[in-house]
Chains A and B, each alone.
Chain A
Amino acid sequence: MAADTLQVNNIQREAQGQIASLPAPGAPDEAWRRVPLEPISALLQNQSAASQLKSGRVDMYADNTLLSPLDTSVGGVSPVVKRWRELESLRQEHRLERPNDIEQNQLFAYPLAYAQSIYQLKIAAENSTETIQIDIRLNSNETDGVLTPIYYFPVLLIHAEKNSSASIQIKLHLSEKSQKAVMLSRTVLLLEDGATVDYQDASAATNTTNTTAGVNIAAESHTQPLTAGYQLEQAYLGRDAKLRIGREIGSFETGMHDGRYALQGRGAHLEEYTLMQAGDTGSSDRTFCGQKSVVEQYAPHTMSNVETRSILDAAAHGMFVGTIKIPTGAPGSTGHEQHRSLLLSPQSRIESLPELEIVENDVSCSHGSTVTELDPESRYYLESRGISREDTRVLLTAAFTDQLRSRMPGAQFELNELEYVEEESSSE
């Protein structure tokens, strides 16, 4: 990527300058020290050469119309970036510090520094209750079979104005096949007072059929599997703002999602449902999927509910680091966090770190974490009724995932697993 093709504005220059001063991803951060970084080792080892790395074009469409990139012609800071900075400095004033929680590592600066376009989506109160489909198209002119990875840096700023509401669905499309691709994305959601956003992030979702089978997870997904995807997300919620997130992580060989949610307005409400899956992708069985989710509740009567489920097969490695932070000044708040994991293979591994940092005492906070295999009694019950071992596995895994999916925004699936089992049985 040549520097002269970039639309360099303040935010990009700033991000480029930040890279050297930010800590490298890894220890002592409890989440990032567990994340495999080989796919981006070239980027991390030689920061100065980052601009010479091969990068692909990222186009974002909202309902098939190309989104407008940030206007950089005036050289000043755009209103959305200005608002983002205001909210961030407000957050910095009250945040609870901790030595081994690195809020931003170098990876946070790369997408801003090297994205050809920074896209923004504005949700106005008058266009409320619409469903917006965002298609992120990753394009590269490279030929098949290249050895060095192509980097993609999608950056999207979403600004939901006061009392607006929208349902946003994110999908990812990779144009080229059989190439090594690495995505480093950055998403920022600003929800003003009274805004309601249903945010369905399917950018890393897998093919449903394969998902429920729990095997060959990404082999036939709708989009070409990426070698690695590091998704970085931040959200700021104003008074009575409501953000409901449904997310699936599973199509990467190495997939990592880092989200930080600041509930800054009284009565702000966050729900985050994540389904993580990793198994044999066909090209590798040592896949990784991870999630770091930090919920910060700064205002009174805020509410958060984080629920993550992981299914790990083959030699996959999963990780969940979730933190609820409630500093003083947020009485009447509730925060709940739950992580459930299903290990399908003896070689699979899960690491779960559900954390709480609470100062305000008039709160109700809890977290729970469980790790199990498929319930032997349920398996016996189904198998004793003539259902094959594989179909039993499909059914029980589906029950585990669909329970969570039914809570996600835009849940449209139908519980038709019995039909699926029937179809499978008749084709034998």
Chain B
Amino acid sequence: MNNTQREHLSSINSDYEELYGFKASSDYMESATRGLSEDVVREISKMKNEPQWMLDFRLDALATFHRMPDPQWIDASVFSSINYDNLFYYARATDKQFNDWDDVPEHIKETFDKLGVPEAEKKFLAGASAQFESEVVYHHMQEELEKQGVIFMDIDSGLQQHEELFRRYFASQVPMDDNKFAALNSAAWSGGSFIYIPPGVKVDIPLQAYFRINAESMGQFERTLIIADKGASVHYIEGCTAPVYSSDSFHTGVIELFAMEGASLRYTTIQNWSNNVLNLVTQRAVAHKDAKVEWMDGNLGARTTMKYPAVSLVGEGARGRVLSIGYANDIQRQDAGAKVIHAAPHTSSTITAKSISHNGGRSSYRGLVKVLPGASDVTSNVNCDALLLDDRSRSDTYPTIDVQENRQVNVAHEASVGKISDEALFYLMSRGIAEEEALFMIVNGFIEEFAKELPMEYAVELNRLIQLEMEGAVG
């Protein structure tokens, strides 16, 4: 790759400061306390007016968090920069939640205006939720959906208003001792979405949540629970950004999806945290008979991402799909992947993971495909493609395939790593396309599979993150 190409690729996210790096006043942090203790956990629970069982759950999780070791599959240096005592575990910028943007306090509204959230809601969303630090500040859903019985609210309200439903599903896919960060989230969780789609209801327009960290050293512990009942369908989109500070912020989410018989559930994330955010998320879904779960996962920001969306196919005919792209630049490390457990016959899964590493960035695919005894007639295909744009960047592929059944099982994994092909560049250039444009076209083609799965308007949002920035640089 020549110098021009290098410059152009370096410009991806170079205007992050301008687009997402602004910060609103964080006066409200004055009353917040640093560090995580039993008192802080009790305080969070009390403020939220939670039932006793939830406080007990949080305290158990806190003890589990202190007991559990850091994950061992990744270098210890990833965790060495985390100073748990310096983090804020809970902060709220307003004591109310609004369902009209005009009522949202000006400094918060301004933040979301700049991010284009109210505009997007008007244009192409059936409902939107905006989280600022630890609490959801805005929530709105189309009336029509409300009439159909769709529940879309912040998760704290979900616990208050639908406790029975909440309790049935909460922490059933991601138990508190699943990993150290799931335990941390279980102890300190605040904010996130609670969605229930009644049987047969098809929500054609996406629901969206936007997560914003504003203050320095903030820990955001979002928790999302989505249940699509029999034959229902829903598409949920999540976006994330934060300003750049000198000390790290921390985003540890736990997301649990439940697709009941014949349901269809798609979860799209476009994560573009600033590069001082550690993004350690546990995402897990269960698909019952003939249900379909899709994780669309775009990891563009954050200094370190550890995220392996999982699907357990527990009912006959269930399908799972994970499509992810990762972009690692400079100090970024995108440790992403996918897990699929085939626990029932006639199930199928597809995993497509694409990554671009550049300028010293490191991206990894870490995946698992497991076929349990009795899960006959199973098909699984895994494809990993990695582009390495220089010899300082790194690409790792760590798949695990574990098959314990032989009847009509067909599991295949393929991966390739390399640079942008000289032949492809030459081909385009020999047809009169400038080198820069040719390069842009190739990178564009590489991520197209992901972009085309997004709603049209959201693909434009993605363009704003990658394509337009590159195009501007090339222009």
- Chain A residues with CB under 8 Å of chain B are 27-28, 30, 98-100, 328-329, 331, 341, 343-373, 376
For the complex formed, measure the closest distance between the CB of B6 and the CB atoms of chain A, giving whole angstroms: 12
The distance in angstroms between the C-alpha atoms of A341 and B401, with both chains bound, is 11
Is B75's CB within 8 Å of the partner chain A? Answer: yes
Q: Which residues of B lie under 8 Å from residue A341 when comparing CB positions?
A: 403
The distance in angstroms between the C-alpha atoms of A301 and B417, with both chains bound, is 16
Check A373/B409 contact, CB under 8 A, given A351-B401, A359-B392, A360-B391.
Answer: yes
For the complex formed, measure the closest distance between the CB of B26 and the CB atoms of chain A, giving whole angstroms: 36
The distance in angstroms between the C-alpha atoms of A344 and B407, with both chains bound, is 9
Is B396's CB within 8 Å of the partner chain A? Answer: yes
The distance in angstroms between the C-alpha atoms of A372 and B388, with both chains bound, is 32
Is B72's CB within 8 Å of the partner chain A? Answer: yes
For the complex formed, measure the closest distance between the CB of B363 and the CB atoms of chain A, giving whole angstroms: 11
Cβ-neighbour of A349 out of B391, B395, B403 (below 8 A):
B403
Cβ-neighbour of A352 out of B75, B386, B394, B401 (below 8 A):
B401
Is B410's CB within 8 Å of the partner chain A? Answer: yes
Pair A363/B417 contact, Cβ less than 8 Å: yes
The distance in angstroms between the C-alpha atoms of A349 and B370, with both chains bound, is 11
Check A368/B412 contact, CB under 8 A, given A99-B73, A351-B401.
Answer: yes
The distance in angstroms between the C-alpha atoms of A359 and B417, with both chains bound, is 10
Q: Which residues of A lie under 8 Å from residue B402 when comparing CB positions?
A: 349-352
Is B350's CB within 8 Å of the partner chain A? Answer: no
CB-defined A-B contacts under 8 Å, sample of 6: A343-B403, A343-B406, A349-B404, A356-B397, A364-B418, A372-B411
The distance in angstroms between the C-alpha atoms of A331 and B418, with both chains bound, is 11
Is B390's CB within 8 Å of the partner chain A? Answer: yes
Pair B401/A371 contact, Cβ less than 8 Å: yes
Q: Which residues of A lie under 8 Å from residue B72 when comparing CB positions?
A: 27-28, 99-100
Pair A373/B400 contact, Cβ less than 8 Å: no
Check A358/B417 contact, CB under 8 A, given A349-B403, A351-B402, A353-B398.
Answer: yes
Cβ-neighbour of A361 out of B404, B405, B418 (below 8 A):
B418
B386 closest partner in A (C-beta): A358
Pair B394/A368 contact, Cβ less than 8 Å: no
Q: Which residues of A lie under 8 Å from residue B396 when comparing CB positions?
A: 355-358
Pair A99/B76 contact, Cβ less than 8 Å: yes
Pair A361/B73 contact, Cβ less than 8 Å: no
Pair A371/B397 contact, Cβ less than 8 Å: no
Is B373's CB within 8 Å of the partner chain A? Answer: yes
Pair B398/A361 contact, Cβ less than 8 Å: no
Contact with A along B57-78 (1 / 0, CB 8 A): 0000000000000001111100
Is B352's CB within 8 Å of the partner chain A? Answer: no
Is B415's CB within 8 Å of the partner chain A? Answer: yes
- Chain B residues with CB under 8 Å of chain A are 1, 72-76, 371, 373, 386, 388-419
Pair B415/A358 contact, Cβ less than 8 Å: no
Check A367/B397 contact, CB under 8 A, given A100-B73, A361-B390.
Answer: yes
A368 closest partner in B (C-beta): B414
Cβ-neighbour of A370 out of B394, B411, B416 (below 8 A):
B411
Pair A328/B397 contact, Cβ less than 8 Å: no
Pair A358/B394 contact, Cβ less than 8 Å: yes
Q: Which residues of A lie under 8 Å from residue B406 when comparing CB positions?
A: 343-346, 348, 373
Q: Which residues of A lie under 8 Å from residue B405 when comparing CB positions?
A: 343, 346
A320 closest partner in B (C-beta): B401
Pair A350/B403 contact, Cβ less than 8 Å: yes
B402 closest partner in A (C-beta): A351
Q: Which residues of A lie under 8 Å from residue B393 when comparing CB positions?
A: 359, 361
For the complex formed, measure the closest distance between the CB of B383 and the CB atoms of chain A, giving whole angstroms: 10
The distance in angstroms between the C-alpha atoms of A369 and B405, with both chains bound, is 16
The distance in angstroms between the C-alpha atoms of A368 and B413, with both chains bound, is 5
Pair A361/B408 contact, Cβ less than 8 Å: no
Pair B388/A350 contact, Cβ less than 8 Å: no
Pair B415/A366 contact, Cβ less than 8 Å: yes
Pair B419/A362 contact, Cβ less than 8 Å: yes
Check A362/B391 contact, CB under 8 A, given A99-B72, A355-B396, A371-B411.
Answer: yes
The distance in angstroms between the C-alpha atoms of A370 and B418, with both chains bound, is 22
The distance in angstroms between the C-alpha atoms of A347 and B374, with both chains bound, is 10
Q: Which residues of B lie under 8 Å from residue A353 when comparing CB positions?
A: 398-401
List of 6 A-B pairs having minimum Cβ-Cβ separation, nearest first: A343-B406, A361-B388, A352-B401, A356-B397, A371-B411, A369-B413
Cβ-neighbour of A356 out of B76, B395, B401 (below 8 A):
B395
Pair A361/B419 contact, Cβ less than 8 Å: yes
Check A365/B73 contact, CB under 8 A, given A353-B399, A353-B400, A359-B392.
Answer: no
Q: Which residues of A lie under 8 Å from residue B417 when comparing CB positions?
A: 356, 358, 363, 365-366
Q: Which residues of B lie under 8 Å from residue A370 when comparing CB positions?
A: 410-413
The distance in angstroms between the C-alpha atoms of A362 and B388, with both chains bound, is 8
Q: Which residues of B lie under 8 Å from residue A100 when comparing CB positions?
A: 72-73
Q: Which residues of B lie under 8 Å from residue A364 when comparing CB positions?
A: 416, 418
Q: Which residues of B lie under 8 Å from residue A361 when comparing CB positions?
A: 1, 388-391, 393, 418-419
Pair B399/A369 contact, Cβ less than 8 Å: yes
Q: Which residues of A lie under 8 Å from residue B76 when comparing CB positions?
A: 99
Pair B408/A358 contact, Cβ less than 8 Å: no
Q: Which residues of B lie under 8 Å from residue A343 when comparing CB positions?
A: 403, 405-406, 409
B405 closest partner in A (C-beta): A346
The distance in angstroms between the C-alpha atoms of A367 and B74, with both chains bound, is 22
Q: Which residues of A lie under 8 Å from residue B416 when comparing CB positions?
A: 364-366
Q: Which residues of A lie under 8 Å from residue B398 when comparing CB positions?
A: 30, 353, 355
Pair A346/B403 contact, Cβ less than 8 Å: no
Q: Which residues of A lie under 8 Å from residue B411 when comparing CB positions?
A: 369-372
For the complex formed, measure the closest distance between the CB of B358 and the CB atoms of chain A, giving whole angstroms: 10
Pair B418/A363 contact, Cβ less than 8 Å: yes
For the complex formed, measure the closest distance between the CB of B64 and the CB atoms of chain A, giving whole angstroms: 20
Pair A355/B397 contact, Cβ less than 8 Å: yes
Check A328/B409 contact, CB under 8 A, given A358-B396, A361-B419, A369-B401.
Answer: no
Pair A376/B409 contact, Cβ less than 8 Å: no
For the complex formed, measure the closest distance between the CB of B145 and the CB atoms of chain A, giving whole angstroms: 43
The distance in angstroms between the C-alpha atoms of A364 and B412, with both chains bound, is 20
For the complex formed, measure the closest distance between the CB of B397 and the CB atoms of chain A, giving whole angstroms: 4
Pair A28/B403 contact, Cβ less than 8 Å: no
For the complex formed, measure the closest distance between the CB of B207 and the CB atoms of chain A, giving whole angstroms: 37
Q: Which residues of A lie under 8 Å from residue B404 when comparing CB positions?
A: 349
Cβ-neighbour of B391 out of A328, A368, A371 (below 8 A):
A328
The distance in angstroms between the C-alpha atoms of A30 and B398, with both chains bound, is 10
For the complex formed, measure the closest distance between the CB of B109 and the CB atoms of chain A, giving whole angstroms: 45
The distance in angstroms between the C-alpha atoms of A358 and B398, with both chains bound, is 12
The distance in angstroms between the C-alpha atoms of A184 and B415, with both chains bound, is 34
For the complex formed, measure the closest distance between the CB of B289 and the CB atoms of chain A, giving whole angstroms: 22
Pair B391/A354 contact, Cβ less than 8 Å: no
Q: Which residues of A lie under 8 Å from residue B410 when comparing CB positions?
A: 370-372
The distance in angstroms between the C-alpha atoms of A370 and B416, with both chains bound, is 15
Check A355/B413 contact, CB under 8 A, given A99-B75, A100-B72, A346-B373.
Answer: no
Q: Which residues of B lie under 8 Å from residue A366 when comparing CB positions?
A: 414-417
The distance in angstroms between the C-alpha atoms of A30 and B407, with both chains bound, is 27
Q: Which residues of A lie under 8 Å from residue B401 when comparing CB positions?
A: 350-353, 369, 371
Pair A358/B403 contact, Cβ less than 8 Å: no
Q: Which residues of B lie under 8 Å from residue A350 when comparing CB positions?
A: 401-403
Residue of B74, B373, B401 most packed against chain A (CB within 10 A): B401
Q: Which residues of B lie under 8 Å from residue A346 when comparing CB positions?
A: 373, 405-407
For the complex formed, measure the closest distance between the CB of B78 and the CB atoms of chain A, giving whole angstroms: 10
The distance in angstroms between the C-alpha atoms of A328 and B393, with both chains bound, is 9
A372 closest partner in B (C-beta): B410
Pair A356/B415 contact, Cβ less than 8 Å: yes
Q: Which residues of B lie under 8 Å from residue A372 when comparing CB positions?
A: 409-411
B1 closest partner in A (C-beta): A361
For the complex formed, measure the closest distance between the CB of A316 and the CB atoms of chain B, giving whole angstroms: 11
For the complex formed, measure the closest distance between the CB of B267 and the CB atoms of chain A, giving whole angstroms: 27
